[in-house]
Amino acid sequence: MRKLSQRWLKFFGFVLLILAGQTSVYATDAEETKSGKDSFRPALIYIAAGKERDSAFIDSARAGAARAKDELGIRYKEYRMSGNEDVSAVIQKAADSGATPIIAVGFQNVIPVLNLAERYPNTSFTVIDGLVPPIYPNVQSVLFKDHEGAFLVGIVAGMTTRTNKLGFIGGMDIPIIRNFAKGFVQGVHYANPKAQVTIKTLGNTPEAWSSPEAAENLALSQFGSGVDVIFAAAGGSGVGVLKAAKETDHFAIGVDINQNAIYPGHVLTSMVKRVDIAVYSALKTSYEGKWSPGIKYLGLKENALDYSVDEYNRHLMNEALIDRVATARERIVNGVLTVEIYSPK
């Protein structure tokens, strides 16, 4: 077995390479997974410390699995973890049961999968929203260009604000959330250079994703300081930000799924992140024997990110705003406009 230190050297070297270019290196020439429907026993693993539904990231992941069940007849087992459980132990339990593929949702699965992949060579692991370096032939990473989607809703916020004071409330203080914030700020300034953005996160533990009351209080503080639009990239906690917007007659921007209908007239828009597509694709390709290892990035070009306009918020948008966002989206997809990714110093 490789030494962990060697793995980390490869890991950080690869991360630097990805941050520098963010080019997809999703393996296309690797040997495809043998079609073994007899051994196809998928498992979906995720952390959901709060209520059964989070109306955000986890709901989207579960929707993708449900779609695979409905359309393809795929049966799968769910492993729902609280924020205090040992992630490695849960993934190992699934692997010991013979589960494959194991679809682990969230960045917290990176190290456990990195440590378990070699011990379970016949198990396929897909980590969604977490970067596992491609050193094992049975590991796949699916990541989103969150900064691109955040850029679009940043334009919406920048063109809507009347105070030129905007807010961002993230879940855990991790690079993924900082990437959301970076894209949002760029979008705001693209549309409104005079606007200022206050950035806050809810903590450094998984409870940050399921603390709507804490998010609500933080949002109330920002609204009280003159902020009139807040982008909530905080998983299940974000519902608290949406609630605060309604209570104070301001605007919030939802995330992950279309949250416009939660508080109609106060959810300015939602940054839709198609985690469901990633989960569905991992299940479908594995079921069909077409799963392959490596890293896959999903962004605007892949229609995996967007902003939502529907009957609940259409009256909040004018044609100039919609046209501005559409133009920016097209420029990003065509490579004319580049949204910078967050890079740790």
| Number of domains within the chain | 2
Over residues 99-120, the mean pLDDT reads 96
pLDDT for position 12: 41
Contact criterion met (CB below 8 Å) for 130 and 106: yes
Q: What is the pTM of this model?
A: 0.86
User: Is 85 within the bounds of a domain?
Assistant: yes
In a domain, 96, yes or no: yes
pLDDT at 10: 45
Give domain status of residue 33, yes or no. Answer: yes
Of 24-33, 38-47, 51-60, which has the strongest mean pLDDT? 38-47
First-last CA distance in the chain: 32
The answer to whether residue 294 scores a pLDDT higher than 70 is yes
Of 140, 129, 117, 214, which is closest to residue 174 (Cα–Cα)?
129
Edge-to-edge strand list for the sheet holding 165-172: 196-203, 165-172, 229-233, 251-256, 267-273, 305-307
- The string of pLDDT tens digits covering residues 180-206 is 999 999 999 999 999 999 999 999 988
pLDDT by residue (tens digit) across 82-94? 878 899 999 999 9
- Please tell me whether residues 319 and 193 are part of one structural domain: yes
What's residue 57's pLDDT? Answer: 85
- Which whole number is the average pLDDT over 318-329? 98
What pLDDT score does 219 carry? 98
Q: What is the pLDDT of residue 54?
A: 61
Q: How far apart are CA 255 and CA 150, in angstroms?
A: 9
Q: What is the CATH number of the domain that holds 90?
A: 3.40.50.2300
Q: What is the pLDDT of residue 223?
A: 98
Which candidate, 324, 316, 311, places its Cα nearest to that of 161?
A: 316
In a domain, 339, yes or no: no
For residue 66, what are its two tokens?
């449900």
Domain enclosing residue 174, as ranges: 146-272+306-333
**pLDDT of res. 50:** 59
What pLDDT does residue 344 have?
A: 85
Smallest CA-to-CA distance from 215 within 151, 167, 285, 174 is with 167
| 121 upstream amide cis, omega within 30 of 0 | no
In angstroms and rounded to an integer, the radius of gyration of the C-alpha atoms of the chain is: 20
Give the chain's mean pLDDT. Answer: 89
Answer yes or no: do 82 and 167 share one domain: no
